[in-house]
A and B are shown apart, each in its own frame.
Chain A
Amino acid sequence: MILVQALDLGLGLLVFAVGAWTVFARGPFAATVGYVVYGLLLSLVWIRLFAVDVALTEAAIGSGVTGLLLIGAAARMRDAETTAHEKPLSGPLRLAIAALCVLVALALAAVVLLLPDNGPSLAPQSLHHLAETGLGNPVTAVLIAYRAFDTMLEKVVLVLAVVGVWSLAQDRYWGGAPGEARAERPEPTLAFLAQVLAPLGILVGVHIFWVGADEPGGAFQGGAILAAMWMIVMMARLSEAPATRARWLRLALIAGPVVFLAAGVAGAVFAGGFFAYPPGFAKPVILFIEAFMVLSIAVTLPMLVTGPPRRETRQ
């Protein structure tokens, strides 16, 4: 018991320490690498909180994909003389801001400590309705059944993010491809890693999506792993990002939200309400929707990381 508590305390302190390092480290590049470590430690915390679905998501998206994004950005800006122009805030102002932040943290900590031990919870209701969704994982049920509207709109948020990122391309590159072109002779170690990892990762990703109906996992986690595999292959320059005008790419991006939306409207016609599922058919419909969600996520996340189009491609 004591050992577990000591480990928890150690983990908590480590998480805070790495987080603090991310904020106060000298160079931005070091800070972003620290962030990846931070994210992985955070996944361990989520496991200690018995939220395995969240741990998977944090590892794959929070730390993995976000880390790739930030490290890529820091690397590209590394050589600039930007740090020389960084105008630090004056001492007293920093102190005032720090005081404000400490105040917020303390108030939050106080409220956290006051939370009742067996507080109000929707766990009983989630379990109660689980049978009619045909699922075994209550988190998946919340995401795709009870609060499907939220999840569907979140997919639309992702699409808007892609449009926003693409909007930052220069006019002459619009419709072209982001990232680097495929290399004639890819770097051997990276290529080897990609060739070994990618097929494995694809299997893992599909498995985690499929199994997410009844066990921890689901469309977001599975899709993120597939996305990571594609990104690894692109980073190894074994494959290149597609042209953003490609019809198949755009279809893949919207497939998830469109299928979800269509299912929602179909629910109004066949199941008595928008986003309701026909009794007895819920699980197949849910898996159908999730399959397209996985496709969209696997395509959207790499597009968000590679950024706006930077190369012209053949029409």
Chain B
Amino acid sequence: MTLGVTALAASAGGSLLPLAILVPALGVLLSLVLGGRQAERIALGLMPFELAIAVAIAAFVGRSGQPLVYSLAGYEPPLGIALKADGFSAVMLVTAALIAPAAGLFARANFATPAGIEKRAPLVFWTLLQGLQGALALIFLSGDLFNLYVGLELLTFAAVPLVSLDGRPETVAAALRYLLFALFGSVFYLLGVALMYGAYGALDIAMLASRIRPEPAVWLAAGLMTAGLLAKTALFPLHLWLPPAHANAPAAASAVLSGLVVKGSFFLVVRLWFDVLSPLPGLIPGAILAALGSAAILFGSVLALRQARLKLLIAYSTVAQIGYLFLMFPLGQGPWAADAFSGGVMQALAHAFAKAAMFLSAGLIAESLGHDRITGLGGAARALPVTFLALGLGGLSLMGLPPSGGFAAKWLLMKASIASGQWVWAAVMAAGGLLAGGYLYRVLAPAISGERPQLKKTPARSRESVALVLALIALLLAFAPPAFFAFLAIGRPAAGLALQ
């Protein structure tokens, strides 16, 4: 049974797929032309619709048990472009549709526009936030390699100016470095697409999966595309751009950058290796990816321990947590494959919510205290209890302590790693958990004890609640029922690939 035939069956609800991309795209265009206050209104106004579309897509996929497919312009692949939503896509889409509005609601206080005048930072923020949503929707739903390239560019162009939004030289330099890494990634990805098309005359993921054979062009294409996507995902050793970029962006932007943007390119690495390249022997490339991931976990965690600023610590923590995502790759074939896949996806989701909560909390802390130096956090938890609760609960998920999504993810990945005999990944995860505990203790312990500091500003209860809700979602993921994991399996290539 080839993916090509089933994937192209027309399905009801398919029209939702283009809408998920076109609604935020229209929002971007209208925000620019109407300008001023309208940009914020359009952004926040469209978000409920985007969430509704995402949930509807998930409902259709869940009810039918099949991926949702749509061919654009009335032309089937390989000539036309097909969109496809499987379980993984739907879950990521819903995650993005939850985190982006949360960041938006949080950011209303930072990027409010006075009536009558248009200000730079608010217009740029609200327009680019919608651009991010459109880009992520495109990445999660597109089934065409070149269309995905356009999605990656859309994502980069929306994300980079958010980093330099405050205009300080440090942020401009960080944005430039981010852009250069991202452009390197795009060029390598595109080169891989050229080779794939050259070899098989198709860009459709499902079609390629049915035609691919292990030949030199494919191996080179795989290597190039993966290297490019790793640069965008900031996997060690291509992680240099991430800490300054994420730490110095506005808090709401950091939440979306760490929570969602890096997950976009990660999603494509999974698509590439688990879908397009599934006929290839994946153990050695998977082991290489997991080795880099392990280095990221250890390196990122140790560097996080040594940071002086809270936001930088959280950013280095992102570098480490991204490493966990890549431990699923050598475990993709065999009876433990379902656990490994579920674990990887759960890690992506848990990290997205937890990290977004942590960056929003750190933003509130910085605003309230006037700084984010870790040495100056003594007693701050007494003054900002809800904020630190959100920070702590997010940290719980990062450490992988129960009950949290992070724990569920690590549990699944460890199970798979031990069952497959590749226990080294389990050891790395255990070490990573300990190190995470270490750097979180550095932040939380002095905050709980010590004298209450003077607050420059009290954070608004609504903003604290947003951070707390995101952290709670990260925790609630631990209680995902088995149906959730069955949902993730919708659209996965048929099991039974030989152990390589």
Binding site for B on A (CB under 8 A): 107-108, 110-111, 114-115, 119-122, 125-126, 129, 145-150, 153-154, 156-157, 159-164, 166-171, 174-175, 245, 247, 250-251, 253-254, 257-258, 261, 264-265, 267-268, 271-277
Contact = CB atoms under 8 A, between A and B. Distances in A.
A174 B120 contact: yes
Which one of B73, B81, B146, B147 has the greatest number of beta carbons of chain A within 10 Å? B73
B49 interface: no
A159 B29 contact: yes
Contacts of B71: 273
A96 to B, nearest CB: 13
8 contacts: A126-B79, A147-B81, A159-B29, A160-B154, A164-B160, A171-B119, A174-B118, A174-B120
A187 B139 CA distance: 49
Closest A-B pairs by Cβ, 9 of them: A120-B201, A276-B74, A164-B161, A174-B120, A275-B73, A167-B124, A160-B157, A254-B29, A274-B18
Contacts of A120: 199-202
A108 B223 CA distance: 11
A163 B161 contact: yes
A233 to B, nearest CB: 25
Q: Considering residues B21, B75, B118, B201, which has the most beta carbons from chain A within 10 angstroms of its beta carbon?
A: B75
Given A125-B78, A167-B164, A265-B22, A111 B118 contact: no
Nearest to A164: B161
Contacts of B15: 268, 274
Nearest to A271: B74
Interface in B178-198: 191, 195, 198
Contact of B118 (A107, A175, A254, A268): A175
Given A157-B153, A160-B28, 11 more contacts: A119-B198, A126-B79, A150-B147, A153-B147, A157-B154, A245-B35, A254-B29, A257-B29, A267-B73, A274-B72, A275-B74
A113 to B, nearest CB: 10
Residue among B80, B128, B146 with max Cβ neighbours from chain A (10 Å)? B80
A275 B124 CA distance: 29
B32 A163 contact: yes
B119 A174 contact: yes
A142 to B, nearest CB: 8
Given A250-B35, A264-B22, A275-B73, A149 B81 contact: yes
Contacts of A274: 15, 18, 22, 70, 72-73
Interface in B1-45: 15, 18, 21-22, 25-26, 28-30, 32-33, 35
A159 B120 CA distance: 16
B220 A108 contact: yes
B433 to A, nearest CB: 35
Interface of B: 15, 18, 21-22, 25-26, 28-30, 32-33, 35, 70-75, 78-81, 118-121, 123-124, 127-128, 131, 134, 138, 144, 146-147, 150-151, 153-154, 157-158, 160-161, 164-165, 167, 172, 191, 195, 198-202, 216-217, 220
A268 B153 CA distance: 26
A231 B120 CA distance: 25
Given A168-B164, A169-B120, A171-B119, A146 B147 contact: no
Contacts of B72: 148-149, 273-275
A275 B195 CA distance: 28
B195 A111 contact: yes
A163 B201 contact: no
Contacts of B191: 108
B492 to A, nearest CB: 26
A146 B201 contact: no
Contacts of B25: 153, 156, 257, 261
Contacts of B127: 160, 163
Nearest to A120: B201
A258 B74 CA distance: 20
Given A120-B200, A164-B161, A168-B167, A129 B32 contact: no
B298 to A, nearest CB: 24
Contacts of B199: 115, 119-120
A276 B81 CA distance: 12
A264 B151 CA distance: 18
Given A163-B124, A175-B118, A254 B153 contact: no
Contacts of A245: 35, 118
Chain A CB within 10 Å — which of B33, B72, B153 has the most?
B72
A116 to B, nearest CB: 9
Contacts of A268: 15, 18
A168 B32 contact: no
A150 B81 contact: yes
A111 B220 CA distance: 8
Contacts of A251: 33
A245 B117 CA distance: 10
A226 B270 CA distance: 43
Contacts of B216: 110-111, 114
B21 to A, nearest CB: 8
Contacts of A272: 74
B124 A149 contact: no
A159 to B, nearest CB: 6
B83 to A, nearest CB: 9
